[in-house]
Amino acid sequence: MNSKEFIIERATDIVYHYTNVRSAQDILSSGFFKLSSTAGTKAEKQYAPPGYPYFLSLSRSKVGDYHRYVGPSGVMFVLDGRWLSSRYPVKPIDFWYAGKTPDTLKKGEWSTISPENKKSMWQYNPERTSESEDRLFSKENAVPIDPVTAVHIYIREADERHSPWVRQTMLAAKARRIKTYLYNDLDAWRFQDTRKSVPAGELKKLLRGAEPTSYYRRPARGAGGYGKSSLLDWIELIKKNPGQELSKSADKLRYNIRYYGDFSSQLENDLHNAKKPDSSEYKLAVTLTNYMSKNNLDVNTLMNALKQKWGGK
């Protein structure tokens, strides 16, 4: 697939982006959608045009497959697809190959699977649509929220965990004068039936609770143990030159690259684990991805460059 093919692709006039309330609050407060990275993930990178290492998942349908299952709360952004298409390449992607069943799932067996197991196997549902995702590609890791025309928020019931985040999300949306609707009826939320949105007089009942609290993030796993990201070591080897002092973990990585062969898979794993905006290592992945994109490097060519730089053969 070459970049010329992306020129004729465009989003439909209206597209949707589904996320959780915490991410939605961050998007509305910052004014940007933070994009996932394709670096280190071959399955993702194959869809991206050259020079566009970031992507945002969109849907053509407000009842699409990527938000088939919703928990206690969720947020749907409605965006102007024409605005997006005039600025970014957008292409329909069927990442999971709709309706394709695994070898272990016999024909007709879908109906016998329990609802709980179906949730973890939704990509094999024969009822799935073929164009499950419209993927927007970008050279930068953020897209402004200018094309957002409405925000639809769902909360099943008032609770101390979700209500505060929903309240903050609504306040952030209204501060930007974006049309905002709250639902506690899942079907009404799915179909964006604003007639069934929660009346203003009942909002306080659903949104009561303390201020939202931060949530646990798994400590980064790196060569230096938990708490230090391995991506810091890769960045250190890129920024420093032979003769400069390295940290203990970066020096260990340098030694391993020089004497123990190809460490491409380790770098791919590190980037893959940090590719999403909600990762604690996301900013480091962006730094590394931007460097690779600017210098026209992939994981393998970066590895070869580091081996040469630090004395490898």
| Percent of the chain whose pLDDT exceeds 90 | 48
Instruction: Kindly tell me if the per-residue pLDDT of 115 is higher than 50.
Output: yes
How many Cα atoms are found within 13 Å in the side-chain-facing hemisphere of 222?
Answer: 24
Rounded mean pLDDT, 220-241: 76
Instruction: Kindly tell me if the per-residue pLDDT of 225 is higher than 60.
Output: no
Q: What is the DSSP string of 209-246?
A: SS-------PPPEETTEETS-HHHHHHHHHHS-TTS--
| Percent of the chain whose pLDDT exceeds 70 | 76
Helix (H, G, I), strand (E, B) or coil at 87: coil
In the prediction, which pLDDT does 233 show? 92
In the prediction, which pLDDT does 118 show? 56
CB 280 within 8 A of CB 217: yes
What are the Cα distances from residue 125, in Å, to 57, 131, 141, 145, 243?
Answer: 20, 14, 32, 33, 57
In the prediction, which pLDDT does 227 show? 58
Confidence category of residue 81, pLDDT binned at 50, 70, 90: very high
More confident residue, 64 or 197: 197
In the prediction, which pLDDT does 28 show? 97
Confidence category of residue 209, pLDDT binned at 50, 70, 90: low
Confidence category of residue 9, pLDDT binned at 50, 70, 90: low
In the prediction, which pLDDT does 212 show? 64
Lowest mean pLDDT among 34-43, 84-93, 193-202, 247-256: 34-43
How many Cα atoms are found within 13 Å in the side-chain-facing hemisphere of 87?
Answer: 14
**Token match 């979700």: residue?**
162
More confident residue, 161 or 116: 161
Lowest mean pLDDT among 144-153, 188-197, 270-279, 281-290: 270-279
In the prediction, which pLDDT does 124 show? 53
Rounded mean pLDDT, 14-23: 93
In the prediction, which pLDDT does 7 show? 43
Distance, C-alpha 68 to centroid of its chain: 17
Rounded mean pLDDT, 235-258: 92
In the prediction, which pLDDT does 158 show? 85
Lowest mean pLDDT among 38-47, 103-112, 270-279: 103-112
pLDDT tens digits along 167-193: 999 999 999 999 999 999 999 999 999
Average pLDDT, the chain: 82
- For the chain, helix, strand, coil in percent to 5 are 40, 20, 45
In the prediction, which pLDDT does 30 show? 96
In the prediction, which pLDDT does 54 show? 95
Instruction: Kindly tell me if the per-residue pLDDT of 96 is higher than 70.
Output: no
Instruction: Kindly tell me if the per-residue pLDDT of 20 is higher than 80.
Output: yes
